[in-house]
Amino acid sequence: MNAAQTVRRLAAERLEVPAARLDAANSLRDAGIDSLAAIDLIVAIEERLSISFPECDLESIRSFDDLAAAVERLLAEKHTAP
Amino acid sequence: MNRRVVVTGCGVICALGGNTQNFSQALASGRSGVQALDTHFFAGRVRGASPRGVAARIGGDAAGQFHGYELELLDPVSRYALIAGREACDGSGLLSDPVQNSDAGVYIGTGMGGASSVERAYADMFGLGAAPRPLAILSAMNNAAAGHLSIRLGLKGPNFTYSCACASSAVAIGEAFHAIRCGRLDCALAGGAEACIVAGVMRAWDSLRVLAPVHSTCAAASCRPFSADRAGIVLGEGAAMLVLEDVESAEHRGTPILAEMLGYGATADACHITNPSVDGQARAMYAALADAGLDPADIDYVNAHGTATRIGDVCETLAIKRVFGERAHDTPVSSTKSVHGHLLGAAGALEFAACLQSMRGNFLPATMHLGEHDPDCDLDYVGNAPRLGVPIRRFMSNSFAFGGSNAVLIGGEFRR
């Protein structure tokens, strides 16, 4: 499962909606994820994937694409860390 | 400007039931919601053997009405407030009146707020070495329930949370009543919520040496106010909310009127942080009677604060005798905490709802499991079974708090 699929699946779990319902949405707000729900989702992703979002990233995450890109970058950094 | 204020909606969730009808039926039948705590309740939270405990917990799955991320955001105290608030508004038809609804205030009382959210944050931090959950502040803050009520029900008037321990929700109802009566407001959702059946809270109360142990043969009989063999307080959880509005707008909307708010009195003992005061309690009862323009002879029933501590039961008995004089022994008194437990900040609201439902059902609710009376408690306590077929025209509900805050509410039948 790639990062994009992972973040949508976790979002669907937190919102208790079918994952398919989130497929059409890219904006987190359109998917019903407000700023608080986004923080909740990010913490769930951090725990599931053992990564940590830098504070400065949070402001810029507005969509599932943003989230997936950040997750991919953080996973890559984790794997290349000494 | 002194307008008449009426109750047009009532919502309840507590150990006796998840709505007003179930609550009322339980009171009329004398059913108790007090139970021994599950043996796993304290597991992992205390060192050594888990203590036994008793409480009036909400059965079933109150969380089932909320989903996913809502469960992170809504501490049980907010969930209970929303369940009771929604029922009260639905019953009054408030939500289908956009003008009245939009201006309505929220006046709520809670003693411990989001206690389980606070405990979870501390457990994460001190137990696991982890950061508290991101929504910990928002679910723990004392005014969260009031905020969610306004957001979800569209109530845009004043939004207040009162926290004066066990008098909190009586004060919330009283202050809303006075605000409407003097014309500052036309309508309010008023009451209280508490979700204090949390391991840390239970242990802290137990450290104060005021909680009752589990009764050796019948857990439901653990709370026995006014009894010679009383053993202490049993905590309870839940919420009760009322829709209060001025009579003209209620009649204009054509909504059924359940009761009239008649009087409210609040005083401070100004003597000790926990010891109650006959003087402080009596002054609150006098103030409520004066506010209502009534004499003690006009009161048909007193719902006592009656927590089942010796000092509290005796003090309240003496205060009632001082205020009611020669009528004291002819006025039925009971403590319904024996069946729904002590809801701390929500106690006043739940007990006002108990009075309201008893008045509407023509019965006097009982102090269940009342054994031989404490010799210093010599009033007409309704004991061991509700008195059915007894009309109540006007009732008094007492709430007396740690900190010395006293609040007394008087309600009654609405007559044009």
Mean pLDDT by 10 residues, chain B (416 residues): 94 97 98 92 70 87 79 95 97 85 93 97 94 94 98 96 98 98 96 96 90 95 97 97 96 95 98 96 98 98 97 98 97 98 98 98 98 97 97 98 98 95
How many residue contacts between A and B have a Cβ separation below 8 Å? Answer: 23
Q: Which residue has the tokens 């309201």?
A: B356
**pLDDT < 50: residue spans in chain A:** none
Cβ burial B357-380 (10 Å sphere, 16+ → b, else e): bbbebebbbbbbbbeebbeebebe
- Rounded to an integer, what distance in angstroms lies between the CA atom of residue A40 and that of residue A49? 14
Q: Which chain A residues are closer than 8 Å to B136 by Cβ?
A: none
B268 and B210, same domain (yes or no): no
Q: Looking at B243, B259, B275, which one is the last position of a domain?
A: B259
Best interface-test mutation with B: which of A9, A40, A50, A55 has the largest number of B CBs within 10 A?
A40
- Rounded to an integer, what distance in angstroms lies between the CA atom of residue A10 and that of residue A33? 12
- Rounded to an integer, what distance in angstroms lies between the CA atom of residue B375 and that of residue B392? 27
B182 and B283, same domain (yes or no): no
Which CA distances in Å does A28 have to A11, A24, A31, B152?
10, 11, 5, 21
Distance from CA of A62 to the nearest CA of B (A): 18
Which CA distances in Å does B24 have to B15, B29, B31, B411?
12, 9, 10, 17
Q: Which CATH class is domain A3-80?
A: mainly alpha
Q: Are B308 and B34 in contact (CB under 8 A)?
A: no
B84 and B201, same domain (yes or no): yes
Question: Domain holding B301: CATH number?
Answer: 3.40.47.10
Q: Are B4 and B76 in contact (CB under 8 A)?
A: no
Cβ–Cβ below 8 Å for A13 and B138: no
Q: How many CB atoms lie within 10 A of CB B248?
A: 12
3-state SS, residue B227: strand
Would you state the pLDDT for residue A14?
84
Cβ–Cβ below 8 Å for A40 and B72: yes
Cβ–Cβ below 8 Å for A14 and B134: no
B241 and B269, same domain (yes or no): no
Which CA distances in Å does A67 have to A39, A47, A49, B60, B87?
11, 15, 13, 38, 39
Q: Which of A13, A15, A43 sits opposite B134 (nearest CB)?
A: A43
Would you state the pLDDT for residue B50?
60
Would you state the pLDDT for residue B38?
87
* Residue-range domain boundaries for chain A: 3-80
Cβ–Cβ below 8 Å for A40 and B67: no
Residues of B with a catalytic annotation lie at 166, 305, 342
User: pLDDT (tens digit, 9 = 90+) per residue, B84-94?
Assistant: 999 999 999 98
Distance from CA of B169 to the nearest CA of A (A): 29
Residue of B nearest to A12 (CA): B68
Q: Which chain B residues are closer than 8 Å to A47 by Cβ?
A: none
Check if A40 contacts B (Cβ < 8 Å).
yes
Check if A55 contacts B (Cβ < 8 Å).
no
* pTM assigned to the model: 0.93
B129 and B20, same domain (yes or no): yes
Q: Looking at B213, B230, B259, which one is the last position of a domain?
A: B259
B241 and B323, same domain (yes or no): no
Q: Are A49 and A75 in contact (CB under 8 A)?
A: yes
B106 and B217, same domain (yes or no): yes
Cβ–Cβ below 8 Å for A15 and B138: no
Q: Which residue has the tokens 């694409």?
A: A65
Q: Percent of chain A, pLDDT > 70?
A: 96
B67 and B17, same domain (yes or no): yes
What residues make up the domain containing B83?
5-259
- The rounded radius of gyration (Å) of the Cα atoms in chain A is 12
Amino acid of residue B210: V
B292 and B320, same domain (yes or no): yes
- Rounded to an integer, what distance in angstroms lies between the CA atom of residue B280 and that of residue B266? 9
What would the DSSP string read from start to end of A13-80? HHHTS-HHHHHT--BTTTTT--HHHHHHHHHHHHHHHT----HHHHTT--BHHHHHHHHHHHHHHHHH
Amino acid of residue B341: G
Q: How many domains does chain B have?
A: 2
3-state SS, residue B220: helix
B227 and B337, same domain (yes or no): no
B335 and B385, same domain (yes or no): yes
Cα dihedral across residues B321, B324, B330, B332: positive or negative: negative
Would you state the pLDDT for residue B254?
93
Best interface-test mutation with A: which of B66, B69, B72, B133 has the largest number of A CBs within 10 A?
B69
Q: Which chain A residues are closer than 8 Å to B72 by Cβ?
A: 40
Q: Which of B67, B68, B134 sits opposite A39 (nearest CB)?
A: B134
Check if A43 contacts B (Cβ < 8 Å).
yes
B196 and B181, same domain (yes or no): yes
Would you state the pLDDT for residue A56?
67
